[in-house]
Amino acid sequence: MSEIINAPAAPAANSSPSPENQPALESQESSEAELDAAEEKAASEAEDKSKKAPSKAEKELEKRIKKLKLKVDGKEIEEELDLDDEEGLVRHLQMSKMGQKRAQEKAQLEKELEGFFGELQRDPLSLLSKEMGMDVNQLIQAYIDQQLEQAQKSPEQIEREKLESELKSLRSEREKEKESLKTRELERLQQQEFERYDMLMDKALTASTLPKSPYVVKKIADYMLIGLEAGHDVSPEDVIPLVEQELNTDLQELFQSLPEDRIEALLGEQVLNKLRKRRISKAKEAQAAVTKPVIADTGKTNEVKPKSDKDKKNFRDFFGV
């Protein structure tokens, strides 16, 4: 029999650290937390840097857009210029050249005006004679006569002429105002009449078989104008029968003079189909009327005597004209 040796049992593992090892564990955990925080911070900084860093396409775009500081009329402005926009560059250059030309013309004009007024102050008589072709002697004589005539007038006469001149100016202004008011009132009345005639024409065309086309409206307006020139106040309803008659006559003469193929081409396939359907419908109605059974009348009918020519009245007798 073998001898069983009982080994001493191993001590149970204690889950809680011993007081001696606890500070070391806490230090290790703190180091790991700091390391994780540092890694997160580095990742965040790298992400922000990647967001802020412009891409290659953006860098190329930035290179093409130039911001220029300009000074216009003493004021400094900033303007962006796209170097790839050929049309915009051409437009800016054209405006620049135009501005330079206008500035040169203005400077030249100012220089000429300055020279003119300077010469006018230095030697007015010579300027009026040479440059403007005026007779200086006649001008001086007219001025002297005017001054002498003015000196011979009494103060009351001078005051009266001044008042008459002011009154004439006021009357002229009033006349201009009246003309302006008259013109505006006439325009208002014309617009009002246009709207009224348009309403009347629309109403008349709605009640008629004519379409509201520019051609028809012009025909109505022409007939109304003829009536107005003859001294008659006519409305669109008055002239629509004349327009209908003229259009029907013109269309009949047109279709009678055209060959069949031209008529078909003029009307078009859609209109021809409408006419074909209408003929078929009328033919069916006529056939139905013929085949309809006749009901015999068994009752006694009164004999209708034909009217004699004496009982008939013509148009003039009926209406008394």
The predicted-structure confidence for 110-150, as pLDDT tens digits, reads as follows 998 888 888 888 888 888 787 778 888 888 888 888 888 88
- Which DSSP symbol is given to 34? H
Mean pLDDT of 169-187: 90
Indicate the residue type of 118.
G
Checking DSSP bridges between strand 65-72 and strand 75-82, what pairing results, if any? antiparallel
Mean pLDDT of 226-241: 86
Q: Two tokens at 305? A: 């005597």
Mean pLDDT of 7-35: 53
Name which of 52-61, 212-221, 226-235 the model is least confident about: 52-61
Q: Two tokens at 244? A: 């209908």
Tokens 């962006």 locate to: 80
Tokens 């857009």 locate to: 65
- Statement: residue 239 has pLDDT above 50: yes
Name which of 37-46, 112-121, 180-189, 275-284 the model is least confident about: 37-46
- Statement: residue 316 has pLDDT above 50: no
pLDDT recorded at residue 2: 41
Report which listed range, 80-94, 171-185, 220-234, is most confident. 171-185
pLDDT recorded at residue 61: 52
Q: Please provide residue 75's backbone torsions phi and psi, each rounded to the nearest 5 degrees.
A: -110, 135
Measure the CA–CA gap between 193 and 190, rounded to whole angstroms. 5
Mean pLDDT of 174-194: 89
Mean pLDDT of 29-33: 63
Q: Which helix (H) or strand (E) holds 26?
A: helix 22-52
- Statement: residue 294 has pLDDT above 80: no
Name which of 63-67, 151-155, 197-201 the model is least confident about: 63-67
Q: Would you report the helix, strand and coil content of the chain in percent, each value rounded to 5?
A: 70, 5, 25
Tokens 């005051």 locate to: 159
- Let me know: does 65 contact 80? Beta carbons within 8 Å: yes
